[in-house]
Amino acid sequence: MTILSPRWRERLASPLTWHIAGFVVLLALAVLLAIRLGLDWAAMDSHSSEVLAVKQLQLKALEIETAPLRGLDQRVEKTRKQIEDFYQKRVPPNYSSIDARIVELQVASGVRLSRVQYTQGEPGLSLTEITMDASISGDYPAIMRFVNSLERDPMFFIVRAMALTGQQGGLVNLRLRVSTWLRPADAAASGLPATPVENPLQDDKAPTAPGKEGE
């Protein structure tokens, strides 16, 4: 058994010794806690970086998915404005304006239209098709001027069909079918008969479907 000398017993009994021992213990605990905190912080920082990277990828994917929808309200408004402009500039207001424009183009091109008949198709939600079936005669350049002027006119015309019905000297006789459109209310007010379901181009000797002739 080791017997401590009186000097060591005095040191052990001294409050300073116990204070130093306590300080060392506390310092060791503080160092251990600091190491543990550092390790936990490093692990937390690594996890936070992973979470942040995942969130950034999700945000990028969401941006790509929603890209087509950006500015959708402006595009819808622009499309609505274009439709309104088309209606105002290219859709005739009534049947009389269609017939008047056809007469103007006829005079300007130098052709002669006969047996002009107008009919209307089934009313649509926004527009109703108006069909003009007519015989056209004149020299070839004049007829081409008339057809081209129809296709390029600000009023919306579509040439549906042309059929040669005769030729004599320098004159050409064609059967012509042209479509344009009216708003359903304007078409109803025009009093035009319905377009037959089957209405092929006919020659001048064949009977024609009843229709409203050009004024």
The Cα 199–Cα 208 span in angstroms is 9
Closest CA to 131 of 200, 41, 61: 200
User: In terms of pTM, does the model score above 0.75?
Assistant: no
3-state secondary structure at position 134? strand
The Cα 164–Cα 201 span in angstroms is 10
Tens digits of residue pLDDT in 149-184: 999 999 999 999 999 888 877 789 999 999 999 999
Thinking of the domain 93-213, which architecture would CATH place it in? Answer: 2-Layer Sandwich (3.30)
Tell me the two tokens of residue 54. Answer: 């995942």
- The tally of CA atoms less than 13 A away on the side-chain side of residue 182 is 25
Q: Are 127 and 91 in contact (CB under 8 A)?
A: yes
User: How does residue 107 score in pLDDT terms, banded at 50, 70 and 90?
Assistant: very high
The Cα 121–Cα 133 span in angstroms is 13
